[in-house]
Structure 1
């Protein structure tokens, strides 16, 4: 991000924590939690300030913030400190309470059941009770952007199977057509990094990051763990914990029992392709080979291209 934005973002986080004239007694020093093209996050004390991606639509972001602050989603989504983003050097900025994330160093404690339960509550919240005008969930659009980034990165021997797998997906999964039956409130980018604990708010875990939230196909929110499981990157017992918890609380993305893959196959394929495309693009940019995990995702794309996806009504090619 531009050099002048990061200091200003830190000032914004401090101002949201206490008046600028006050003596800061926060035990936690200023810290950059993330600094990527799609968002930069700075922490000061118990507050984080996020600069959203360049070009973020202010109306759509405001509607997503209003949903995060809505009473019907208390205990599901971390609410913003203000539902109105501010412009900071051309970037939209929002402020949030700081929450403790999932510890990646302790995978055996991963809160799969909590993630599944939160998703089910999100998916079963009637959109009619929420602020009007919520935009579509951006999952397919993010997958399409990953493919565009792959194509712009230049030649790579692993690109061909990824592009073949992409071409076999239905138009809606490539963001080339509306999502079929897109009537559920969806997170749009679910992974364990999107869960935090905040002791002052309801529930032990809450979902964060509303940038991709909107109306869509709820199976998309299960697609990343499903893809990891299918690629051999998520142990079967962890996948079973996640899926079973989602089914037990009435999540609508999959049947309550039986084979879930008719609903999950297309989204899981799309997330596999997205992951592989980004891995290759980053590999080209850094001039380094794919690592073992990245190669496993590319290999999965190669296998997918040989087996047609399980299409449902509305999954026009």
Structure 2
């Protein structure tokens, strides 16, 4: 099946739901994403998302329930249960205005930190599945086999093997650390609702679950450590998280014993994806991709900091 029938029917579903509240809407549908793991279409104020093939219905329903119950943190869904279309689970959401990619100075680092802290302070409901961050990192590393024997592959694999088992999805998460987590935090996961200037909310519940809350800080921490995120932006994010009572790091002092292993895991994941994509395209690594691989190469000489012996 091609993506086109799915896109067309998603547009119809989004339009039908949008017209429940905007009967005279004359706008067409817009495709926001069309990837193997997510196809997203907007019609007026309604967004329809087809989730990845094989998505567990019960797990997705549990994640939707969390979003519905935390409307001050997560964008709430428009329906409590997913629909099904062409073998894919489909959810419906209100449209939110995304972060402006051409205005990095306006990036909502303070809002991201505060929202994460509130999420981490929320008790996780019984039966919620694990946060999918470590499993996605392991999947990215597994796909490195398609990149052959490039030198970059060896550097990434060596860094991966140095990580604690829980960060590689090979061991249980240390029980004392478990919290409600987003699982895939980056600036693309924030929108303003109502658009265009409402409060910021987190979106995308596909990876939501219980796990190590430091994972949600790991991507900006990794960018900072690799020199890809300016120090002032990292400080804005971390200070806002701490001010809002986030549990992933101590309220003061050095945050890196808690952040180091997850930040390394996110660096490895991002580098693995970069190496796989560059190999598939038959091109060398670009400057940013090489920076990530170089960071992986440095990891082998410095053991990761661990916040607790149970992380080993």
1:97 matched residue in structure 2 = 94
1:18 & 1:74 partners in 2: Cα distance?
A: 23
Q: 2:288 aligns with which of 293, 296, 302?
A: 293
Cα distance, 1:200 vs. partner?
7.5
Cα RMSD (Å) of the superposition?
1.8
2:310 & 2:103 partners in 1: Cα distance?
A: 41
Cα distance, 1:188 vs. partner?
0.2
Asked whether the 8 Å contact 2:97–2:195 carries over to 1, the reply is no
Moved more, 242-251 or 230-239: 242-251
| TM-score, normalisation: structure 1 | 0.93
2:119 matched residue in structure 1 = 122
1:9 matched residue in structure 2 = 10
> Structure 2 matches for 1:186-265, cutoff 5 A?
186-199=181-194, 204-265=199-260
Asked whether the 8 Å contact 1:65–1:80 carries over to 2, the reply is yes
2:160 & 2:171 partners in 1: Cα distance?
A: 15
Deviations 1:128-180 (A, max 9, x none): xx4x3110101000100100111234332311100000000011100011111
1:298 & 1:153 partners in 2: Cα distance?
A: 14
Asked whether the 8 Å contact 2:141–2:272 carries over to 1, the reply is yes
Q: 1:111 aligns with which of 91, 108, 113?
A: 108
> Structure 2 matches for 1:270-289, cutoff 5 A?
270-289=265-284
Q: Which runs of 5+ in 1 are unaligned?
A: none
Cα distance, 1:23 vs. partner?
6.6
Work out the number of aligned pairs and report it. 309
Cα distance, 1:24 vs. partner?
5.2
2:311 & 2:95 partners in 1: Cα distance?
A: 40
2:155 matched residue in structure 1 = 161
Instruction: Report the secondary structure of 1:237's partner residue.
Output: helix
